[in-house]
Amino acid sequence: MIPKDPVMLLSYVNTQLRDYYDSLDDFLKDKELSREGLIKKLASIDYQYDAKLNQFV
């Protein structure tokens, strides 16, 4: 289950990216999530995706 709270979502996504996925696109495809929706939700708490780090920072 994907967390709805932005802070919990951040933790979940970064853990998933670190442990299981080589890119955000791989994660989104596997979890069937909207890139725009995820980026917007995490931007609401001032986090953006850094492709080089493969994390939201």
Backbone angles phi, psi at 46, to 5 degrees: 65, 40
Terminal alpha carbon distance of the chain: 22
In tens, the pLDDT along 21-49 reads 999 999 999 999 999 999 999 999 999 99
Global pTM reads 0.95
Does residue 1 surpass a pLDDT of 90?
no
